[in-house]
Amino acid sequence: MMQFTESPTLHHHHQMMPLSNNPSMLNKLSNSVRPWPVGFPSSTKPIAGGGLGDANCMEQLLVHCATALETNDATLAQQILWVLNNIAAADGDSNQRLTCGFLRALVSRAARTGSCKILTAAINTTASLAVHKFSVIELASFVDLTPWHRFGFTAANTAILDAIEGYSSVHIVDLSLTHCMQIPTLIDALATRLESPPLLKLTVAGATEDVPPMLELSYEELGSKLMNFARSRNITMEFRVLPSSSSDGFASLIDQIREQNLVHSQIGEALIINCHMMLHYIPEETLSMGHTSDSPSPNLSTSPQTFSYRNFFLKKIRTLDPTLVILVDEDADFTSRNLVTRLRSAFNYLWIPYDTVDTFLAKGSKQRQWYEADICWKIENVIAEEGARRVERPEPKGRWVQRMRSSGFRDISFGEEAASEVKTMLDEHAAGWGLKKEDDELVLTWKGHNVVFASAWVPSI
């Protein structure tokens, strides 16, 4: 088991003091590691203050910088960015690397939106990290490094095995960010736990979005490898790719499944909808877009302004009458239209992957570069992008629970076996990881902070 590295930093939400009313912060700005660039104001009076490396201080600097960008205050934005560039080392501790990711994102936002045009010339160390394209073996090993995804795999597979008992055929619609990396473990479980394994049908949405982690091979090639693996375990497996997109709530995929799945209840086939870290890429609402000829039927919404593709998706899968729906996602909220609110939410959540990486990946390793590049991609999308290009929009567990219930589902509790399997899996990782149960959902934690939740649902009667 990897050793746990204790971190004294506690991240929490706090009241933000305006920079102009915070002389200690102004002093820190005027006494940064490097002198101000030529032409930058430096007339603030020195007043004693704490260190700039504190996570709360870094968050305040980022928030004030974002506010300056939004109000087009180039002078203040440049001052703060210069300080951040000095204290947020790309190869520093976890807080510094986290802040560096946000620094990159803020500069990228300024460049894309045209705000504070001259500031990017002063900061020249903010190039985005390259996102790696994984081979299947690399991605499988990468996912195994941390419980971030394994937690959901473990809880989901246990619930799926319980739900399909007695069925001769199982159809799994796998909407997963990790490109079916959950499926080999499920195949193993089917082969070892069931005397007469069912026919396994696997349907996936085509990889149409460039969202990390990225796979270097096509889904057709991936399907061939999965079917070969299933054959080696004496499991008969069918694999198909239905090109579809999260941008419209996977509407075409669901329609095709409905057409091809009308007889599943007649032939004793279990239908499992497995949603792993994917639903938060569905737009949460069309806002001012309104309905067009290509939009889903407005009958599901009272007005275009309140139409929700997420609710649309959930109501569509409810019409399929699935045997089980698994929903696993990050317990965070990046949906605010306000940049500062979104930045604070992201900062107070994304410190977790930076903190955990120090426990399992060596500094300078290729895997660590890949891991942090993926986090930086997420940060940049949350901070620098707007509109349809901002796809990283997680919602907290409670909001998804409300969506599921209002769409005609009821949650079912994970059994003791699921909790036991998850705990056994967590024993293979750093001691900071934990498990708790909130109502019927299981929640993965890091040092007591919620990270990922897993929930299981069946149609309401």
State pTM to two decimals: 0.86
Question: What pLDDT does 127 receive?
Answer: 54
DSSP 90-150: TTS-HHHHHHHHHHHHHHHHHHHH-TTGGGGGT----PPPPPPEEPHHHHHHHHTTSHHHH
Question: What pLDDT does 111 receive?
Answer: 85
CA–CA separation, 146 vs 41, rounded Å? 46
**Tokens (6 digits) for 142:** 């990468």
CA–CA separation, 96 vs 383, rounded Å? 17
Give the residue range(s) of CATH 3.40.50 domains in the chain. 134-286+306-331+394-459
Residue pair 98/370 in contact (Cβ under 8 Å)? The answer is no
CA–CA separation, 198 vs 201, rounded Å? 9
CA–CA separation, 109 vs 95, rounded Å? 21
E strand spans, 298-357? 324-330
Residue pair 276/175 in contact (Cβ under 8 Å)? The answer is yes
CA–CA separation, 352 vs 354, rounded Å? 5
Question: What pLDDT does 119 receive?
Answer: 59
Q: How far is CA 158 from the centre of its chain?
A: 22
CA–CA separation, 247 vs 225, rounded Å? 28
DSSP 246-294: GGGTTHHHHHHHHHH-TTTTTTTEEEEEEEES-GGGS-S--GGG---TT
Question: What pLDDT does 44 receive?
Answer: 32
Question: What pLDDT does 92 receive?
Answer: 93
The one-letter amino acid code at 368 reads: R
Fold topology of 134-286+306-331+394-459: Rossmann fold (3.40.50)
CA torsion 455-392-272-183 (nearest 10°) is: -100
Q: What single DSSP character describes residue 324?
A: E
Burial 206-232 (b: 16+ CB within 10 A, else e): ebeeebbbbbeeebeebbeebbeebee
Of 20, 17, 99, which is closest to residue 58 (Cα–Cα)?
99
Length of the chain: 461
Question: What pLDDT does 266 receive?
Answer: 54
Number of helices and strands (H, E) in the chain?
A: 14, 11
Q: Which residue has the tokens 């509790």?
A: 413
Print pLDDT tens along the chain (461 aa): 322 223 333 444 433 344 444 545 445 444 443 333 333 333 332 222 345 668 899 999 999 999 999 998 988 998 898 899 899 999 999 999 999 999 999 999 988 877 666 555 555 444 557 889 999 999 999 999 999 999 999 999 999 999 999 999 999 999 999 999 999 999 999 999 877 899 999 999 986 568 999 999 999 999 999 999 999 999 999 999 998 999 889 999 999 998 876 555 556 799 999 999 999 999 986 544 444 333 444 444 444 456 889 999 999 999 999 999 999 999 999 999 999 999 999 999 999 999 999 998 998 899 999 999 999 999 999 999 999 899 999 999 999 999 999 999 999 999 999 999 999 999 999 999 999 999 999 999 999 999 999 999 999 97
Q: Which residue has the tokens 């500094």?
A: 363
Give bridge partners of residue 204 from the DSSP assignment.
174, 241
CA–CA separation, 157 vs 95, rounded Å? 35
H-helix or E-strand containing 411? strand 409-412
Question: What pLDDT does 128 receive?
Answer: 59
Q: Around Cβ 192, how many Cβ atoms within 10 Å?
A: 9
